[in-house]
Structure 1
Amino acid sequence: MASLGKNEDVLCTSDGIESVYNKLVAQEEEINNGLETLLSRQCHLEAKLRGITKVLPNLQIVHSDAQQLAEMITFTSTLAENVSSKVRQLDIARSRVSECQQRVHDLLDLQLCSDGVQTALRNEDFEKAAAHVHRFLSMDQHLLKQTADDVAEDCTSVTNSFSLLHEAATQLGAVVTQKFDEAVHADDLASVERFFKIFPLLGMQDEGLVRFSSYLCSKLKDTALKNLRLALETNTSDKRANVIYADTITLLFEGIARVIEIHQPLIETYYGPGRLLTVASYLQRECDRQSKRILAEFSKCRHLEKIVQQVNEYMRTNNVYSKPTDKLDPKELDLLLGELTIMHSRAELYVRFIRRRVMNDLEIGVPSGDTRTALVSELEAMLNGSELCHRMQELLSSYLLLERYFMEESVKKAVVMDSVEEGSHTSSMVDDVFFIVRKCIRRAGTSSSLDGVCAVINNACALLETDFCEVLRRQLRQGYPSGYLDLTQAYSVLHTSIQQGRLQASDSEQARLMFLTYLNNADASTEYTDTLRRSLMDEVPSVLTTMSENERVKLESCLSGLGSVAASLKAVIDYGMEQLRVIVIKPRVNPWVDTFLSVSHQLSEEDFANYEANEPFVQNLIMNLDGLLGLFRGSLTTSNYDTLVSILTAEVTAHLEKVVIKSTFNRLGGLVFDKEVRALVSYLTSTTSWSIRDKFARLTQMATVLNLERVTEISDYWGSNSGPLTWRLTPADIRQVMTLRTDFRSDDIKRLKL
């Protein structure tokens, strides 16, 4: 009603009154619904209340038990706190007692060390004296003085012991250093190791490592110089003379490795893990000096700089197939290249050994963190920045230049010395060229350098793809002379001519033979290239045993260049086959197929019987084709011959389709044409291992159309093959072929729904 009072203006009209009334009715209905909902839940609420009433006594019991448990926990906690406080007090007391005992022991040991060090020095028992000094140096001198003040109120004896032991430590350090130097001068390894073990006891670890490393370097120097003198005195007839410098530098690396293997346990035992890097640094510097001397003698004796300069000059001023008067014979580089790869391989092996040993030592002795990271960086800087590494890079650069020259010149020589043996499909240069390429890549693999291997592979790919393919293409570019020839006789004639040193075969015979031989060369080279790629993918990782996944991807990328070589060789084959198609196949095949027009295919029953017995067109065509293929059957490789048959088939079918369109047929003529097509398919299929039926698809379908009894019969063939996609003939082609049948009405053909 309050709301009604606020809306007096609304109540002044009947519409307003009715609206307010409707709202009141709606509110009343909503309230009634709410009351009904509450009443419907009355039984459920009463059941809940009864359940709660039953549980109330149990809640009282739980509350009582919870209070008792809380009181018990509080009591136990207080008791535990009291006990633990007493334990802490006892632990503090125990620690203090232990510290007191340690101080007392230190004081007693101080006196023992003070007395014992003098006795040991007088008896020259340096190990025992060093042990006393080491025990003294491990004490906390400040605490000892404080303890002496607290106990005796007089620290004079302690101070005297300190002074005495300090003097003894200084004296012992000087004596041990002198004795170590004397042992080094006398080359007494046992004494050197004896005094080396004493340095860390005196707190002279760094000096001990430096002196011991210098001693090891002096021994390495003497051995390296001795080995180098022996190398220089080696007789050229010695079986190792060709690799004597590689053997000398290998002995240097093996000597360093042996030193590390023998003395690493000694260093770790007395100086602790993580100190091998110091010794390795000194050994690496000595390795740099000695390897520099060895490589200088190697370069001088082998005339390496002169050879590299000569090869550089030649490659800069000469074309690939020019014939300069002043150039090296590639055979003279063979042994030098082998020695270069051995030296680089041994250096890589040595560097990996040093890195592995030092890294293992750091992992054991130095916790992971900034310190280890800094030491690892120092190790890598030492190895990568060493004189040995720089000189090996120069050596590898010289090797790659000479290997490229060796490969190119050897391939040129193989091309110049190319010959054809009787009964062989290819000439000698194919085997020679790929033997040279494989040899060079394998030799690069023995250098243990992936970059070197990839560089040689890239050079080989460039050589094969450009120069070698150009040799093949240049011969094929001269063309295939037209005319018939028995190529078996040509091989025999040419072989005899070569043996007798005079030319007996005609120019055209030679040209035909060389054309087919070089076409076979291209095919054989394609197979060799694929085989080379697969074999290298297996061989190179087995030689470079430490290849990572990224390095493997890099190798695969380089080997993919051989795929480009195969594509270039395939283009050469296609070029040669196209010449055979234009010069040999097309001029002969077209006239043979044109004779189809001279044979009538509107036959009577008598004509049909005679034609079926003689088959003049197809038998003559097969005979001519067989004669043509016979000229090449024994002269081409299997793949090239199959390609030739495929080209011949394509030419025959294409031209036969054209002449069929110019002919007319009746029912018997269509039946004869179907038999002719089948005979031709059967013959050409028997001449090759490839499938050629697909090339006869249109002709076969044309024969099917020409062999129909009625025009409407085509619907059965068309519909039964699931639509026009299985047909090579379009609906327009089918109608055109049907018009060749003189007994088919044009109106019936037009009404066809295809």
Structure 2
Amino acid sequence: MTISGPSDATSSKVTLSPLPTKEANAPTKQTPALADPSKLTSRSAVVQALSDLSSYSASLDDELVSLFEESEPVVTDARRSIAALAPQVQLIQEEADVLDRRLQSSASVAKRISERVRLLDEERKRIALATEWAVRVAELKSSLSLLASAVEHRDWDMATMHCRRALAIDPAIRSSQFAAAVVPSTDLPELPETTLLELRKTMLTAFTDAFIRSTQNKDEKEASRFFKLFPQVGWKKEGLEVYSSFARSMVREKGRSITDSLGSGKAQNPTHFALLLTSLFEHLASLIDMHQPVVDRHYGLGNFSHGVMPGLQDECDRLGHRIMDSWREDRSVRRRLDEVQAYRFTGAATAKHTQPSTFKASFGVPGRTASPAAESTANSSFDEPSGPDGREVSKILTELAAMSSRWGYYRRFLQSRLSSGPDAGGGNRPKTLEDERAAQADEALKDFRRTSVDRRSSIASSANAPPIDAEQDEELADSIDHATQSKLGQEVLESMSTLYIPMETWFLRNSLEKAFRIDQPDTISRPYTSSILDDAFYVIRIVLARIMSTSSLATLTEMTRVVKTIVEEDYIEVIVRKMETLWRTISGSMTVDGPRKDAASREMRTVFITYLNVLDVSSTYMSRVLLEVGHESSLARLFEPSEQDEASACVQSLSSLVQRFRSSLRTEIEHLFTQLTAPRLRALLMDTYRDVSYMLDDEAYSSAESRDLVRRRFVKSWDLLFHHFRGVFTDANFNTYLSMALDALLKPWEGMVLGMRFTELGALKFDKDLRAVVGFLTDQTSLPIRDKFTRLQQVSYVLNLDGGEDEGDLYQNAVASGISWRLSMAEVRSVRGLRVT
């Protein structure tokens, strides 16, 4: 039978022409405008609308009939074409039936073959599984028999090997009915699982006894041997418990020596208890450093942290709590805290309300021969309020800060050493437990009883801790933060909150109060200064360094706020109040001329200058102290990397005190200037230009040149006004004071000049006088004096110009030549009017 190709189908293909449309044959008729029914209001309108609608309907019917008539030939032609395709479609259907009959028999054969192959595969799998079960059960029976024999002969290495073989068999096989029917024998009649469990329990008891006996005899090799066997026979958790008990016993041994030290009478050492706590942490760090690699090597990474470390930390907490209790009792901490809390400060209140009437009273007690920096004074009993001994409180704070610091070191050691992250330590280690055992099969345990920390790997080398592979053991994926959960850590933090912060606050306030009480000026040295400066910043430096040494971010955060408040209220504000009180006391004497006014002026000037210098140097000292205690290397040594940014921010927050010093300094300098110097500047200016005229001819100009009155008078008056401040002020304060004087002097000076009249020679003389004064003042200070005299210099420039040039041209030409005008156009015009032609 021949199947026709594609040419047979395409040879009879008929192309159907599209139906003719009205648009192609006739012009489009416009739709008549029909009336809107809603607008029909009369019967005649309704009749007319119906007539129009009827006519439009008849036209649509005629058009539709015409369209049907036009399309009828096309439809007839299409039907003939479709009828011509029917024989070809019938031929294709017959060919498809023939192909279906041919392929049906082949498909049935293939189906039977496929089903038979699947049956054969299933039978092969069942045979292989049955063979596997038989082999495994036989292996289980052999392993149990050999295991029982090895246990009976106490051959623990062989017993371990056979036990591992038995444990390696699928638990489903071990607990199956087939194994229960085949494995039991006359010697081992129990079920396989029961037999294996009993034999493993026997091994557990034997291993535990042997491990304990070996550790007691200090047989490291034998202890190491049995320690490795626990996880191999399925007793990992029990092995860790045995090892944890052993490790705790080593800490308890250290505890006995600590207990002996607590009662040995050595507590006179100011850091005795901090040293005991340090020795405890070092002992634990040594144990962790020596034993963690061994445990993690044989039991899996992270098992030391979860299985052994909790017991060690419990012992650490117990011994640490005993040390802290003994410290509180021996140092009478509770009594000291009660005294501190009951203390009422009087120094600040005295500074607020007392009104010193003499110079010495403004600075505190006379006859001062020592400093609180040395913790004692020759006149320390003078007007000394009752209360806690600052030296004893300082010792308590130092020891408590040392305890917190040691806890911080230990906490960072634990977090870095026992972290489960991939970067917890260094070194390349095998990836599987079998590789670990093969690589370290002959390695003995470390010396269990060694307590020294001479090894390089201790707390300081915690960065070399071995990594913990979290993927090796899923139940160990989440690391335990032993430091956070530690009861000792919580006790240290509570002590910092309830003891350290209130006592450190008291110590700082009391030290500043004492420093003010024995404050004495040093008016011999230049510039003037006061003992309060060194005494206060010695204490502030000690307190900030001690706060940083605690390694406690919470303590640092709270204490920086406290220190900032205390320095503002008990140091800066006290100095400001002393100056304000002095001014109120002597203000009455300043109103009447005479010796009393001169004495009061000298006293106020000396006290103000001294304390202004103190404020100026204090801002420098504060910046230096913050730079020292907040250094990046110090923060890296004292705080965790995650805490360093916040710790740095806490320290930097104290930098606002520098601005507080400077703002208070500026305010008080302005006060002193307003009271002492500002009233005399007008007299200085009037005296300088007394009888001075710039309406000069040639003879008058020559006489004025020879006399040089303006420069000489200004220099004399200026020296008379400022010689009391030169040398006794710090450079920064003198420059500030001089700048205030110039700012206050230049405006009236400019007004005085604008009230004068000038000839050409007079303008020239005025320019020389101005240059001479500016040159003199430039030698007095490092300030940019010439910038302050820019307006007066431009006035002189305008006065000395030729009169023929227009003011507008003059102004623009000067701008074009690079002059930056401080005078407006109107002011230039006004200055030009001062010239007399």
Q: TM-score, normalised by structure 1?
A: 0.75
Q: Which amino acid counterpart does residue 544 of structure 1 have in structure 2?
A: L
2:324 to 292, 295, 305: 295
Q: Does 1:531 align with 2:631?
A: no
1:613 aligns with 2:706: yes
* Kept after mapping to 2: 8 A contact 1:667/1:707: yes
Structure-2 change in CA distance of 1:275 and 1:740 (3 Å): same
Q: 1:258 offset after TM fit, Å?
A: 2.0
Cα deviations by residue, 1:600-637 (Å, 9 ceiling, x for unpaired):
22111100111012111232112221232222111111
Tell me, in whole angstroms, the C-alpha distance in 2 between the residues paired with 1:279 and 1:428: 57
The whole-number CA distance in structure 1 between the counterparts of 2:532 and 2:616 is 13
Residues 714/431 of structure 1: CA separation in 2 closer, same or farther (3 Å cut) = farther
Partner AA of 2:282 in structure 1: E
CA 243–90 in structure 1, closer or farther in 2 if over 3 Å, else same: farther
Aligned to 1:367: 471
**Residue 340, structure 1, aligned to residue 400, structure 2:** yes
Corresponding residue of 1:419: 520
**Residues 6 and 519 (structure 1), Cα distance of their counterparts in 2 relative to 1, 3 Å cut:** closer
Q: Which structure shows the bigger proportion of residues in helix conformation?
A: 1
User: Which amino acid in 1 is paired with 2:286?
Assistant: R
Q: 2:173·2:179 contact (CA, 8 Å) conserved in 1?
A: no
Mapped partners of 1:692, 1:366: distance in 2: 71
* Structure 1 counterpart of 2:207, one-letter code: V
Q: Among residues 328, 332, 341, which one is paired with 1:312 in the alignment? A: 341
Give the residue type in structure 1 aligned to 2:570.
D
Deviates more, 1:322-331 or 1:690-699: 322-331
Select between 511-520 and 532-541 the one with higher mean Cα deviation: 532-541
Select 1:598's aligned residue among 686, 691, 711. 691
Say yes or no: does 1:394 pair with 2:422: no
Please tell me whether residue 541 in structure 1 is matched to residue 635 in structure 2. yes
Q: How do 1:121-136 residues align onto structure 2 when only pairs under 5 Å count?
A: 121-136=151-166
Residue aligning to 1:727: 821
* Equivalence for 2:61: none
- Determine the C-alpha separation between the residues in 1 that align with 2:336 and 2:159: 63
Contact kept? 1:601, 1:672, Cα under 8 Å = yes
Aligned partners of 2:342 and 2:217: how far apart in 1? Answer: 54
Q: How does 1:230-269 map to 2 (within 5 A)?
A: 230-235=261-266, 241-269=269-297
CA offset digits 1:233-290 (Å, max 9, x no partner): 04356xxx21111111122222222222222233223322232212112222222222
Contact 1:523 1:640 in 2 (8 A): yes
Further displaced range: 264-273 or 135-144: 135-144
Q: Cα–Cα, structure 1 residues 582 and 140, in superposed 2: closer, same or farther, change >3 Å?
A: closer
Q: Distance in 2 between matches of 1:672 and 1:372?
A: 94
How far off its partner does 1:698 sit? 1.7
* Alignment partners' CA distance in 1, 2:328 and 2:473: 44
Unmatched 5+ stretches in structure 1: 10-85, 483-504, 744-754
Counterpart CA distance in 2 for 1:716 and 1:369 is 91
Change in Cα spacing, 1:102 to 1:544, as seen in structure 2 (3 Å) is farther
Structure 1 residues 140 and 720: CA distance shift in structure 2, 3 A:
same
Query: Residue in 2 aligned with 1:491?
Result: none
Give deviations 1:434-485, integer Å, cap 9, x for gaps: 2211221112111112232333332222222222112321233224989xxx
Q: Does 1:705 align with 2:798?
A: yes
Shift of 1:575: 2.8
Task: Report the Cα distance in structure 2 between the residues aligned to 1:355 and 1:95, rounded to whole angstroms.
Answer: 54
Pairs within 5 Å for 1:155-174: 157=185, 160=189, 162=192, 165-174=196-205
Q: Distance in 2 between matches of 1:8 and 1:602?
A: 108
Tell me, in whole angstroms, the C-alpha distance in 2 between the residues paired with 1:651 and 1:471: 29
Q: Which residue of 1 aligns with 2:663?
A: 571
Shifted more, 633-642 versus 663-672: the winner is 663-672
Q: Does 1:272 align with 2:300?
A: yes
- Give me the whole-angstrom Cα distance separating, in 1, the residues matched to 2:636 and 2:414: 22
Which string of whole-angstrom CA distances, capped at 9 and with x for unpartnered residues, describes residues 703-739 of structure 1? Answer: 2222233163544431123389932222332333333
Return 96-105 or 200-209, whichever deviates more: 96-105
User: Aligned residue for 1:490?
Assistant: none
Kindly indicate whether the alpha-carbon contact (under 8 Å) linking 2:143 and 2:165 is maintained by their aligned counterparts in 1: no
Q: Is the Cα–Cα contact under 8 Å of residues 114 and 164 in structure 1 kept in the other structure?
A: no
Residue matched to 1:582: 674
Given that 1:530 and 1:566 are in contact with CA atoms closer than 8 Å, whether structure 2 keeps it comes out as yes
Aligned AA (2:727) = G
Instruction: Answer whether contact 1:274 1:361 (CA < 8 A) is retained.
Output: no
1:211 maps to which of 232, 236, 242: 242
CA 235–92 in structure 1, closer or farther in 2 if over 3 Å, else same: farther
For residue 97 of structure 2, what is the aligned residue in structure 1? Answer: none
The number of residues matched between the two structures is: 633
Q: Return the match for 1:440 from 501, 523, 543.
A: 543
Report the TM-score when normalising by structure 2: 0.68
- Matched residue type, 2:333: L
The answer for the alignment partner of 1:677 in structure 2 is: 770
1:312 positional shift: 1.7
CA distance in 2, matches of 1:7, 1:308: 110
Q: How far apart in 1 are the matches of 2:228 and 2:801?
A: 109
Return the structure number with greater relative CO, CA threshold 8 A, min gap 6: 2
Aligned mate of 1:283, from 312, 317, 322: 312
Structure 2 matches for 1:347-362, cutoff 5 A?
347-360=407-420
The one-character-per-residue Cα deviations of 1:396-419 (angstroms, maximum 9, x if unpaired) are 121222222221211222222222
Corresponding residue SS for 2:815:
coil
Equivalent runs, 1:549-564 vs 2, <5 Å: 551-553=644-646, 555-556=648-649, 558-563=651-656
| Superposition map of 1:96-107 within 5 A | 100=131, 104=135, 107=138
**Rounded Cα–Cα distance in structure 2 between residues aligned with 1:279 and 1:517:** 64
Q: Distance in 2 between matches of 1:581 and 1:134?
A: 94
Please list the CA deviations of residues 356-410 of structure 1 after superposition, one character each: whole Å capped at 9, or x if unmatched.
233248973432998556x33xx13x53233112101112121222222221211
Relative to structure 1, is the Cα distance of residues 574 and 171 closer, same or farther in structure 2, using a 3 angstrom cutoff? closer
| DSSP 3-state at the match of 2:266 | coil
* Alignment match, 2:533: 430
Contact 2:136 2:173 in 1 (8 A): no
- Residue identity over aligned pairs, in percent, reads 26
Give 3-state SS (helix, strand or coil) of 1:197's partner. helix
| Alignment CA distance shift 1:674-1:300 (3 Å) | same
Are the structure 2 counterparts of residues 476 and 149 from structure 1 closer, same or farther at C-alpha, using a change threshold of 3 Å? Answer: closer
1: CA distance, partners of 2:747 / 2:331: 66
Q: CA RMSD in A?
A: 3.8
Match of 1:222 in 2: 253
Q: Secondary structure at the match of 1:465?
A: helix
Aligned to 2:378: none
Q: What CA distance in whole angstroms lies between the structure 1 residues aligned with 2:721 and 2:828?
A: 33
Aligned to 1:633, the other structure's residue is in SS state: coil
Alpha-carbon displacement from aligned partner over 1:621-655 (angstroms, at most 9, x marks no partner)? 12221232222111111111111221222233222
Q: Is the 8 A contact 2:296 2:303 kept in 1?
A: yes
Q: What code does the residue aligned with 1:730 have? A: S
Q: Is the 8 A contact 1:645 1:687 kept in 2?
A: no
The structural deviation recorded for 1:186 is 6.8
The residue aligned with 2:142 is: 111
